[in-house]
Structure formats: C-alpha cells, structure tokens
Amino acid sequence: MHALSVRPQKTPEPDEPPRRRWRRWAAAVLLVLGLGGLAWAVRPDPHLARAKELQKELFNSGAKNLSPEQRKALSAEYREQVKRLSADQKWELSAPMREKQKAEMERYFALSPKEKTKYLDERIDRSEKARKEREQKQKAAPGGAAARTGGFGGGPGGKAGAPPGAPGGGPPRSAEEIEKRRKQALERTTPEERARADQFRKEMNDRRRQRGLSVRL
C-alpha cells in the first residue's frame, strides 16, 4: 500500500500595499498628463496656420485673379489673424517674404551701375504711381484727405495724405515701437544682410534726390 504524499498548500501572496498601488496610479496619471501637455504644446497654432493660408492666397501668382471685394475681405482677415500672433510667430510668417527680399538683393547687387539705375527708377516709378493713386482716392473721399488725416501734407521727407511714419496711411508708429522693431530685426539678421539693406536704402535715396524726390527713412 502506497503512502499518500500530501503537498503543502501554497501560501497566498499578500495583497499589494495600498501605498505602492497609489504610487503606480499617480505615475500613470502624470504620464498621461505629460503626454497631453506635450501634444498641446506642439499643436499648430490655428491663427498662424490661417495666416499662412491667407498669405498664399494674397501673394501667390493667382492673386491677380481675385476681385477687389475678395482681396479686401482676405486682407482684412489676414490683418486680424496677424494681430493674434506673437512676435516670434510674426517672424516665422514673414519667412517667405524675407527669402524673396534676400534673393532680390542678391540680384540687385550683381547688376552693373547702369542696370542698377534702371532698377531703382522702376521701383521709384511704381512707388510714386501708388502714392498718387492713394492721394486721388483720399481726395475723392468725403471730407478730403486733410479732414481724414488731420492735415498732414506732402513736402520734403513727408507723404501727402498720410501721417509721418505710416506708409500708405493708418496710425503712426510710436518711437518706442519703431525702436523695438529695429532691435528685433538687428537680432535676427546677419551683419551682411544689414549692410546690404543699408547700402540699398542709401542708393535708393541718392537716386530719389537726383530726381528731385523726397527720401524715404
């Protein structure tokens, strides 16, 4: 007769201590919150995204097909979206224009002196034509240009129908705002870019003086 072997019963493991369970739950919650915060931080800003879309619509090759009403509506929405952007976002938004200006400057400084004069004259002619068209619109508006702009007129260094420091009209920038934007531009551009911009501005103003026109600051 065989003896029956009795296996000892396995002692049940004690339940996990409450403190350890709480720590695990807290770690899981923090992980979820951290991932959610990261996703929120890197999400695309809706105002910046919309401003980029409007920028393409207003300044691409197909913009010439827009009606005046469409252009006016898109421009108004674009300005409203830009108002909601931070300084860094505005700088990012202006990247395509800066690249275009950089390429334009490289092309200009590669021209011969005669070609530079022709280039400057073309730019000046377009600018003067636009200025005269603005003046005509302001004069045709009720009250005339002087009533709408507080009496600002043309003259050496000034623009008819627009207050100083406000190209094309609109509220003038304060000295503090001008200085702030100047410092931001200095911080974000290379010495070579600044030197080229200063040289171009000098040559443009020299040509305006030669033609008897006021200089642009």
Q: How many angstroms separate the CA atoms of 175 and 172, rounded? A: 9
- 104-149 pLDDT tens trace: 999 999 999 999 999 999 999 999 999 999 899 888 877 654 444 4
- Please tell me the pTM assigned to this model: 0.56
Contact 214, 156 (CB under 8 A): yes
- 178-203 pLDDT tens trace: 777 777 777 788 888 889 989 999 99
Give domain status of residue 10, yes or no.
no
Same-domain status, 134 and 192: yes
Same-domain status, 130 and 181: yes
**Domain of 107?**
99-141+177-217
Same-domain status, 183 and 115: yes
Contact 153, 160 (CB under 8 A): yes
Give domain status of residue 212, yes or no.
yes
CA-to-CA dists, residue 173 to 81, 86, 93, 177, angstroms: 20, 18, 21, 6
Give domain status of residue 163, yes or no.
no
CA-to-CA dists, residue 17 to 13, 20, 21, 204, angstroms: 11, 6, 7, 80
The number of distinct structural domains making up the chain is 2
Same-domain status, 88 and 118: no
Same-domain status, 50 and 133: no
Give domain status of residue 129, yes or no.
yes
